[in-house]
Every structure is written in structure tokens, then in C-alpha cells.
Amino acid sequence: MPRITYADRFAALLAKDYLSDRDRTFAESLSTHYQRKKALTAGRRRCFLQLEERYATPPVADEVMTSRIEGLQGRMGEQGGKWATDFAKSLLSQVRSGASLSPRQVEVLEGIEADWTDAQVATRQSWDQTFTSEMAEKFKVMTEYYRKNGYFQNVVRAQQANPQMIPSKQDYERVTTNKFALKVLAGWFDAPVYEAGSMVSLRGSAGWGLRNKLPAQLAVIIEANAAIPSRACRGNKVYKLLPVGSMQTVLVEECHLKKARTPKKKKK
């Protein structure tokens, strides 16, 4: 019969799905130490033996609560969001280890369940099917705007982690229908006042910084919607310009531009 080593015992312990998250993390640290040193100190050996004894037999888990949390996980799938998904996973680990949930944990669980009933899942599926490419573009524009402005950062981070994600109806409306979003989206979707190839000059509203970038005060429009608007105001569409006499393009908002006046021909 082959000799059972600590490596075998660690593997057997970590294979048990009813270890609590804390004990699993601790057991993994002990296993890593053993793999590196090929031995355990007296203190680490004692802790490992205590873990082995504690988890020698499966605990009596609350099967009703286990089934309840597993059902929630199944309804959420990959759409539950990182926090809710991780929270449900942590609760399931706790219940499988034989521990009971605190009243506060149950309260939070009920709140997540309310967002993921069968009816809510059906509504989400219908929403996903009607999520158009234009809606996706609006969502992308606004998450980029808010990435720079500091709001709705949980939605922004989720979109950055998965650029193809379809947000919930609630999150989509939160970031695309408020008064600031309407101005940003108008700046992005409205037809450009100045077409590519046209000549423009700076308005008096342009500050010293812009005037310094356009020394001749004249430029050619290279591209409209060259960047997502950074301000929620009228005239916030961003153009890429090539200043006359320069090889370096610059970005300028529409509100700082006007059509360049062409010099009148002198009468003979």
C-alpha cells in the first residue's frame, strides 16, 4: 500500500467542498508552505491536524438554505454582478460548513433574491433581446463619460471588465436618461455643424490654451466625434482639427468654433 504523504492529505482536505472560506484559505497557505519547504513546523503541523479532525466528517448543513442559495446562483448565472455573486458564494460556503447565517446575512440575501425572482429573470431575458446597437452605443458613451467624471463607478467598472455586457434596465436608465446624460448624448449623436474638410476658426470664447495651439487661428476639420464629450453642455461635440501651418492635430469642442470667413475678392 503506497505511503500517504502530507501532499495527499492536503489534497484530500482541500477537495472537501464544506470547508469554510477562512479555513480553506488557511489550509491553502499551509499547503503552499509544505510544497515549498517539504516539511511543516510543529505549529503548522498542529494546525493542520486540527483542520483534519474538524473536517473529518461532513457537517450537518442546512439543506433548505443550501438549496435556496444554489437556486439563486442558478438564476443569476453570470449576470448577477461580482458583488452579489461573491456574496452568494460566501454564504453557500458558510452554510456547507455547518454554520448558520446571521440575521443581517439573511436580510441581504432576501434583498438579492428579490432582484432575481423567476419573473425578474424573465424580464431581464426580454430586455436582453431588445437591447439594440444604438442602446449599446449610448451605454458605452456614458460609461466613458462617467469614468472621467467619477459617478456610477460600479457600472463603469463592470463595463470595463466586460465591454460587451448588457446592463440591467435599471443601470442603463440610470446612466443614460438623467439630465447630464441627455446633454452628453445630444453632443455625440447630433449631426455635426462642421463637416470634415471645412475651414473653421476660433470663437472669442476659446481660451489662451486653444489659441496657442492654433497660432494662425485657422484650422481644417479632420473628424467630428473625435472623442466622447467631456462636458454636459451645449456645443460639446469634439472635433479633430489640423491647424493651418501645423502637422499636429488638436481636439476642440464645437462651442469654440465658427466657420472661417473667406476674404472677399477685390473688385477690379
The pLDDT tens digits for 61-71 are: 899 999 999 99
Give pLDDT, residue 261.
79
Give pLDDT, residue 265.
58
Buried b (16+ CB within 10 A) or exposed e, 20-57: beebbeebeebbeebeeeeebeeeeeebbeebeeebee
Residue 183 lies in a domain: no
Work out the mean pLDDT of the chain and round it to a whole number. 90
Q: How far apart are the first and last CA of the chain?
A: 113
The count of domains in the chain is: 4
- Position 96 confidence tier, pLDDT thresholds 50, 70, 90: confident
Rounded CA separation 265/219 (Å)? 21
Quote the domain boundaries for residue 169: 131-177
Residue 185 lies in a domain: no
- Position 267 confidence tier, pLDDT thresholds 50, 70, 90: low
Residue 100 lies in a domain: yes
Give pLDDT, residue 266.
58
CB count in 10 Å sphere of residue 159 = 22
Instruction: Specify whether 87 is located in the same domain as 101.
Output: yes
CA distances from 29 to 32, 56, 98, 161 (A): 5, 19, 22, 29
Instruction: Specify whether 36 is located in the same domain as 74.
Output: no
Question: Is residue 236 within 8 Å of 183, Cβ to Cβ?
Answer: yes
Residue type, 190: D
Provide the percentage of residues in the chain whose pLDDT is more than 70: 97
Q: Is the pLDDT of residue 268 over 60?
A: no
Instruction: Specify whether 113 is located in the same domain as 167.
Output: no
Give pLDDT, residue 264.
60
Residue 211 lies in a domain: yes
